[in-house]
Chains A and B, each alone.
Chain A
């Protein structure tokens, strides 16, 4: 792929050319700034580029969706932020949004309509699943994962919040690996500890950190790879694995990274 330069157009650039992309890729704050999550963003862009899917990002016009503010209780800040975003999105007449962050997904999809923002919002797990089902995305390099065990960590904001349990698993099934479930999975999945704005503060005092408890469950499966579908779960699980000193033998990857990897992107 190295000969083609990756393209990441912004909405503003396309508008200047009089174009409108099929989808808006909502990168999210983690995907934009967190070094680990940037890799997820890049992997997803590589897939979009490879499949020649017309997309654009908002770039410097994107703001936080307001999710952590709202969940912490700062409704005022949430609505201010949401209003700003909705104005931008509506100005570009955005119809379809894809995002790699379940928190952005939930907020854009479920909470923006009440404030005047109505879009068709898809999480990248569902998006990848659709591409696979339509035959557009073929994971031929899946060999790379032969003999590996993968366990999927459900993100609360995909799973319980929005009932998405099968899409990420179907995506993982295309890899030639062995899927295994943790003790708590799907509707009973255990949180990574980051949601509800916990990501931005120390945990309250307790016996163990939530991510440690979750990583223990993941390690019990003897998986080589913990698959995640959320940049915050990514941070929590990666930290947890490091604390257990297992970072050499157990890797945490996002779905998009696994798919991009299987395709040698």
Chain B
């Protein structure tokens, strides 16, 4: 490809990639807004601190050092190496080669220092990805072999690790072929017009180790390789960008808003339902109800489908990285019950995507007659098994709250569907009639005192 055609193709690919991504993001934001309102404004300072600590600083990952270290390596490596994208994009649009060095006057020592840093990080990322693949497949870690991860989620987790290895590989081979070319021109060989492009940059240590692999290649094939790797890197990144919104890897973006909006109250506190407070106040004080401004009764108590959840619950669902730390800590799951907090999050996301797709294809008013609480998604049995112990909430590295969703779904089961195990119904009746969950009379609440004084007579 000649220069100008490459430039045009590059711009088209770049704009295309970013546009497709933006359209998908728009849909996701629309989907999240299908959730009910929840006012999480204010407390900016506290929230920013939380976000910096937990998303940026990955504080909760460090409960377990080795995976935390590898995870950090991939994260830092990936982000820092992608500073290189800036140069790639400028090169691509302007038809330059290593513009920071060639046109923007960065000196060779600094430039090679930067690229060398990137290369070491790239190697780190490759090692970490390999370690994660081994851990996922060969260490017998339960949460990775769990029944939550069937077909797509299982494949997805692997794909992303392979893609990262390939991207880092492109970067290293790009530098290797570039240096091989530099050597040819430096020794006076090759086509002179190309010599002006592949100017000596100083050694990139890691990729220079790959040069022997390329020793048999002539100028033409080296240029082809160099271009392929360069294109591979940028196209790969654009594919990656468009892949993540469909993947558990969406967390690399969503972790930030999600931790920012995460709960500031103690974990033990359940959100109050003001609509019920209003109803009770009306019952207790009917006069006030007549005079006061009347809020419309809510369409539903609790949540039966994802659109009954609040937007933060839905943001949680899109952020979930399916790591299963929550499920591994869940007492119900550990003892063989059906409940898995990870599945709660995955089902919420899948159902929301389904509704989103329906809106796109069949219009906003289309109803498919399905719901989140159903045999297809979350069953009653799963919801019943939760002990509300908060282990899932505590474990989640990005402050996702599966318990909040469980509460909302339980509320609907009880208050709308009147579906409760018989024993719970008795407990409710007892609280209502005797002010205790058991069948004891309120008048006997001090009987223990008699025992005490009998003992001390």
Chain A positions within 8 Å of B, measured between CB atoms, are 1-2, 4-6, 8, 10, 27, 29, 31-33, 38, 41-42, 45, 57, 59-60, 62-64, 66, 68-77, 79-81, 83-84, 106, 110-111, 114-115, 156-157, 160-163, 187-191, 193-210, 212-214
Contact = CB atoms under 8 A, between A and B. Distances in A.
Contacts of B407: 71, 73
Interface string B338-379: 110000000000000000000000000000000000000000
A216 to B, nearest CB: 11
Given A29-B437, A68-B427, A80 B445 contact: no
Contacts, number: 219
A200 B337 contact: no
Interface of B: 265-270, 272-273, 276-277, 279-280, 284, 301-302, 329, 331-332, 334-339, 381, 384-391, 393-394, 407, 410-415, 420-421, 423-424, 426-428, 431-432, 435-438, 440, 442-449, 451-453, 455-456
Contact of A206 (B336, B445, B452): B336
Taking chain B's interface residues, is the majority helix, strand, or loop, or is none over half, making it mixed? helix
B335 A208 contact: yes
Contact of A72 (B280, B414, B446, B449): B414
23 contacts: A29-B437, A31-B448, A32-B446, A60-B442, A60-B446, A62-B445, A63-B431, A63-B435, A64-B437, A72-B414, A74-B414, A74-B420, A75-B415, A81-B431, A156-B388, A160-B389, A191-B389, A195-B388, A200-B424, A204-B332, A205-B337, A206-B385, A212-B335
Nearest to A206: B336
Given A162-B266, A194-B387, A5 B453 contact: yes
Given A59-B445, A160-B394, A204-B338, A81 B435 contact: yes
A206 B332 CA distance: 8
A16 B236 CA distance: 80
Nearest to A114: B272
Nearest to A4: B456
Given A110-B265, A204-B332, A73 B302 contact: yes
Contact of B336 (A71, A83, A202, A207): A207
Contacts of B268: 106, 110, 157, 160-162
B446 A160 contact: no
Nearest to B431: A64
A74 B415 CA distance: 6
A197 B331 contact: no
Given A71-B407, A76-B415, A110 B266 contact: yes
A6 B453 contact: yes
